[in-house]
Amino acid sequence: MTGPRYTPLVSALPATVPFVGPEAQERDRGEPFAARLGANENIFGPSPRAVAAMAKAAAEVWKYGDSESHDLRHALAAQHGVRPGNILVGEGIDGLLGCLVRLIVGPGDAVITSLGAYPTFNYHVAGFGGTLHTVPYRGDHEDPEALFAKACETGAKLVYLANPDNPMGSWHGGRTISPLLDRLPEGCLLVLDEAYVECAPEGTAWPGRADDPRVIRLRTFSKAYGLAGARIGYGIGHADLIAAFNKVRNHFGVNRIAQEGALAALKDHAYLTEVLERIAAARSRIAAIATANGLEPLPSAANFVAIDCGRGGAFARAVLEVLSAQGVFVRMPFAEPQNRCIRVSCGPDAALDAFAAALPVALAAARAAG
């Protein structure tokens, strides 16, 4: 019997996934994690108003969502001072990245990212046959100058830059990016992933015009707004680019419950402010736990802290595995030299207490083994 006849592209793809989720890891270990600090979720949770709006929407879930996400797009446009035509709502940044790559990248087209940056983007590039070129981080920062130079060298159609960065938590002032855009090759689009920008210092968001054809900005409700499981995010870009998504996007992919939750979350400014304070306090506590154990926490503008374990990738991996064995789920960067770190998401004291208790045990075990 012959199987389905996959495309040559799919036949050639590796069977890897960008992330093995915590649920899959829990099934493997046979018990749940006590502290879920690995996926950069917002463990403080969403606004109670968002929860109430979603509970109400649940009874109406027999209806498809609004395929144009009209109300949310208009609210986002008002918040950002742009036109609704500059905003696209999609199934999280991950979903938007897939659509964007499908729009722009064909087999063999060059795409640029940083070595060890957000892997889901790379996964989509591979899935549409693009050729990924990477440049190293510089001092644990993504390096826009090097990214843009590589784009010139390769004639790239897309360049990916996350600001703040995941997995290191480093960031650039938004203003520093604008003059560098002149160095992008003609017709090259910058994908500016601002998944964590709400958590970042004032001035981190790129201040440029939504109608600049060289940039699409991506935002999400998964991180600061605490709606990761609802799968909703948005893009801000030139109206023509936003309209082009209508040719390929999954028009009913954003669900009604998420649309209502995101709208309510967006309006609850007081809750966002409170959560951002709690995130900042958790960053300080994670840094203090690291320091108390003789490790170096990296400065972070995101809802996690990368901790330099000081001895390279194999050691950090060993620390992570003993943390995991103690029920503390964290992740670590994929590439050298960033993989000398573990990455710990912000969360309430109970979760960080579990991390604080498990870390010395993990370090002792990793040192004994190494």
Ligand X SMILES: *Cc1c(COP(=O)(O)O)cnc(C)c1O
Using CB under 6 A as the binding rule, the residues of this chain from 83 to 112 that contact ligand X are 92-94
Question: Cβ of residue 233: shortest distance to ligand X, in angstroms?
Answer: 4
What mask, x for binding ligand X by CB under 6 A, covers residues 165 to 184? -x------------------
* Cβ closest to ligand X, residue 51 vs residue 365: 51
* Cβ closest to ligand X, residue 346 vs residue 366: 346
* Cβ closest to ligand X, residue 90 vs residue 315: 90
Among 228, 230, 307, 322, indicate the residue that binds ligand X (CB under 6 A): 228
* Cβ closest to ligand X, residue 123 vs residue 315: 123
Using CB under 6 A as the binding rule, the residues of this chain from 316 to 335 that contact ligand X are none
Q: Is 37 in the site for ligand X (CB under 6 A)?
A: no
Per-residue CA distances from 89 to 67, 72, 224, 306 (Å)? 9, 8, 17, 30
Q: Is 162 in the site for ligand X (CB under 6 A)?
A: yes
Task: Name the one range near ligand X by CB under 6 A: 124-132, 217-225, 258-266, 271-279.
Answer: 217-225
Q: Is 254 in the site for ligand X (CB under 6 A)?
A: no
Q: Is 53 in the site for ligand X (CB under 6 A)?
A: no
With CB under 6 A, what is the number of residues at the site for ligand X?
Answer: 14
Query: Using an 8 Å Cβ cutoff, are 46 and 225 in contact?
Result: yes
Among 144, 233, 237, 333, indicate the residue that binds ligand X (CB under 6 A): 233
Among 109, 193, 268, 308, indicate the residue that binds ligand X (CB under 6 A): 193
* Cβ closest to ligand X, residue 45 vs residue 185: 45
Where along the sequence are the contacts to ligand X (CB under 6 A)? 40, 92-94, 118, 162, 166, 193, 195, 220, 222-223, 228, 233
